[in-house]
């Protein structure tokens, strides 16, 4: 299992500095967040890749249309991964995933905002199988609902048992990682944003969270 650090920032200098810092801590996956890309465009992906060449960079495009085109653009600017919305039409998802596969780009389907994310993932994989499905509790939803992290883990575990890659996201802190470890269930990617990015010592927080997560693999 890997931690993916999401740079949901609007400060490019800070994003690059954080990437360099976390690279020294063993960063494996770093995400150019949607706000960052909207603010500065896809060249931010190249900047982050330069800041940590050893890490895989995710362009969090959350593509909703012109799937093949956006996959090509992500790859052109050096992304190793990119995302398409699970809520969009199946044709766009197919175009995105198939074009990504042709280009050597890994495709992740973000299931944010779906009332039954597990069922939608099953529908999608009948047509096309991405490298990763992301079960994602959005920030706004977390503020207004009583959804529990344990339910997210259970859904992710069930989907992963069907032979596909699975990630989880949404306000994850060390508390949630401990819950995951204690459950003894596995996912492929744990996406962490504010818990690392807004910490007084992102370097130390990342190492601590990564060490907790790795207990599952021991």
Output the domain CATH number for residue 83: 3.20.20.70
Number of domains in the chain: 1
pLDDT given at position 29: 98
For 96-117, what is the mean pLDDT? 95
pLDDT given at position 149: 81
Question: Which domain covers residue 195, as residue numbers?
Answer: 2-217
- Cβ contacts of residue 123 below 8 Å, gap of 6+? 90
Closest CA to 27 of 216, 203, 194, 201: 203
The pLDDT confidence band at residue 115, using thresholds 50, 70 and 90, is confident
pLDDT given at position 142: 54
Strands annotated E in the chain? 2-7, 29-32, 56-63, 81-85, 106-110, 132-136, 166-169, 189-192
- Res 143 pLDDT > 60: no
- Res 46 pLDDT > 60: yes
Q: What is the C-alpha separation between 22 and 206, in angstroms, rounded?
A: 7
Q: What is the pLDDT of residues 144-190, one digit of tens each?
A: 545 578 888 999 999 999 999 999 998 899 999 999 999 999 999 99
The pLDDT confidence band at residue 26, using thresholds 50, 70 and 90, is very high
For 107-124, what is the mean pLDDT? 94
Concatenating the DSSP letter of every residue in 13-54 gives HHHHHHHHHHHTTT--EEEE-HHHHHHH-THHHHHHHHH-TT
pLDDT given at position 217: 62
Residue 15 and residue 48 in contact, taking contact as beta carbons nearer than 8 Å = yes
pLDDT given at position 145: 47
Say whether 85 sits in a helix, a strand or coil. strand
- Tokens 């200098």 belong to residue: 13
Q: What is the pLDDT of residues 56-98, one digit of tens each?
A: 999 999 999 999 999 999 999 999 999 999 999 999 999 999 9
């Amino acid at each position: 299992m890997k931690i993916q650090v999401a740079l949901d920032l609007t400060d490019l200098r800070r994003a690059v500095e954080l990437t360099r810092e976390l690279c020294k801590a063993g960063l494996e996956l770093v995400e150019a967040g949607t706000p960052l890309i909207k603010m500065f465009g896809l060249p931010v992906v190249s900047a982050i890749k330069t800041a940590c060449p050893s890490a895989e960079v995710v362009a969090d495009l959350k593509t909703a249309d012109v799937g093949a085109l956006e996959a090509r653009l992500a790859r052109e600017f050096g992304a190793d991964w990119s995302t398409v919305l699970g809520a969009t039409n199946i044709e766009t998802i197919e175009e995105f995933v198939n074009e990504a596969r042709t280009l050597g780009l890994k495709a992740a389907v973000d299931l944010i905002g779906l009332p039954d994310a597990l069922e939608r993932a099953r529908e999608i994989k009948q047509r096309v199988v991405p490298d990763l499905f992301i079960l994602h509790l959005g920030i706004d939803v977390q503020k207004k609902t009583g959804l529990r992290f344990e339910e997210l883990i259970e859904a992710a575990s069930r989907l992963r048992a069907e032979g596909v890659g699975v990630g989880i996201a949404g306000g994850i802190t060390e508390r949630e990682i401990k819950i995951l470890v204690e459950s003894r269930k596995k996912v492929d990617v744990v996406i962490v944003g504010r818990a690392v990015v807004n910490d007084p010592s992102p370097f130390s927080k990342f190492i601590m969270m990564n060490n907790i997560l790795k207990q599952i693999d021991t």
